Chains A and B, each alone.
Chain A
Amino acid sequence: MTIALAFDTGLAALVVGVAIWTITAREAFAAVVGFVAYGLLLALVWVRLAAPDVALTEAAIGSGVTGGLLLGASTRLRRTETPAAGEKPGATLRLAAALLCTLVSTGLAAILLLLPEPAPTLAPQAAANLAATGLGNPVTAVLMAYRAIDTLLETVVLLLALVGVWSLAPDHVWGGFPGPRHHADPDGVLTFIAQLLVPVGILVGIHIFWVGSVAPGGEFQGATILAAMWILAMMAGLVDAPPVSRCWLRLLLVAGPAVFLAIGLAGLAMAGAFLGYPVDYAKLLIVTIEVPVTLSIAATLAVLVAGPPERAPRR
């Protein structure tokens, strides 16, 4: 027990230390590296809290994809960074930011400390009704059945983020290819790993998605791995990013939220509630939603990392 306590204390101190380092880092690139390390440490915290599903998501999306997006952003901002470093925000602004952060942290800490003992929980109900969903993993049951509306909104938010990135494209390249065309040495190490790893990674991604119904895993984690494999293939120059005007790409991007919404609306007729599933078909309907949602999330994440269109479409 004491060893576990020592480990937890060290881990917590490390998380806070890396967080402070990330905020105070002078260069954007260094801050992003700190952020990725912070995300991986946070994943360890979730493992210590016996929440492997959250740990997987944090490592894959919080640290991996977000880290990749921020790396891209910091590279783009590098040219403007030196002049921007000269302008310091005023004392009032910094004081206001510090006050606001303190207020939020104190509020969160107060809520946690004032929770009644034992803390209110819906876990027994969630476990008791697990059989009705046909799933074996209570976390997936929460995501796909009890709180399906949250998951539906998450997929829509991802799509909105992509629309935001695409809207950065200048008019003359609209509908064109995202980012620069990557070329790697065909005999080089990047091409080698892309050819070797992508098939393995696709298999692992599908596996993580599929075991999500009974074990830690699920569509977001699996989709991130699939997206990473697509990004790897694009970076090695094995495939080019698809032009954003492609019909199949857009269909792929909206397929998940669309199927989710359609089955949710059908729930009004079949089960009497939006996103309600009839008990006999719950598992089947959930899998029918999960497959397109996984593909859509994977496509959205990969195209997000690829960035806004930069090369005009071929006519």
Chain B
Amino acid sequence: MSLALDALTILAVSAGAFFFLAGTVGLLRFPDALSRLHALTKADNLGLGLVVLGLLFQAEGPFAALKLIGVWLLTLLAGATVTQLIARTARPGGPHE
């Protein structure tokens, strides 16, 4: 049982690490600010989501699991907001419409 859980953890965390890697490559390689932000949000949302999913299999009890999910949700919220704010400043028309 624990072997199966460990295997699931390794699988999910590795997939998460792949998204972080892809997001970082995108951040470094994409030509303009909006595409770079697009790459970065994939790392934040999917990458961290998969890492949290992997860690859920190792969580000690339901409260620890809920905390992990809470961390992911808060990061999603903060990441999405900050991306919006940066994108608004970065786009050609400037921060105001």
Contact = CB atoms under 8 A, between A and B. Distances in A.
Interface of A: 189-190, 192-193, 196-197, 200
Interface of B: 74, 77-78, 81, 84-85
B77 A196 contact: yes
Given A193-B81, A197-B77, 8 more contacts: A190-B81, A190-B85, A192-B81, A193-B77, A196-B77, A197-B74, A197-B78, A200-B74
B77 A189 contact: no
Contacts of A190: 81, 85
Contacts of B78: 193, 197
Contacts of A192: 81
Contacts of B85: 189-190
Q: A-B pairs with the 6 shortest C-beta distances?
A: A193-B81, A189-B84, A189-B81, A193-B77, A190-B85, A197-B77
A197 B79 CA distance: 13
7 contacts: A189-B84, A189-B85, A190-B81, A193-B78, A196-B77, A197-B74, A200-B74
A196 B77 CA distance: 9
A31 B68 CA distance: 32
Nearest to B73: A200
Nearest to A192: B81
Contacts of A196: 77
A197 B78 CA distance: 9
A190 B84 CA distance: 9
Nearest to A194: B81
A196 B81 CA distance: 11
Nearest to A193: B81
- Which of B74, B77, B78, B81 has the most A CB atoms < 10 Å from its CB? B81
A193 B78 CA distance: 8
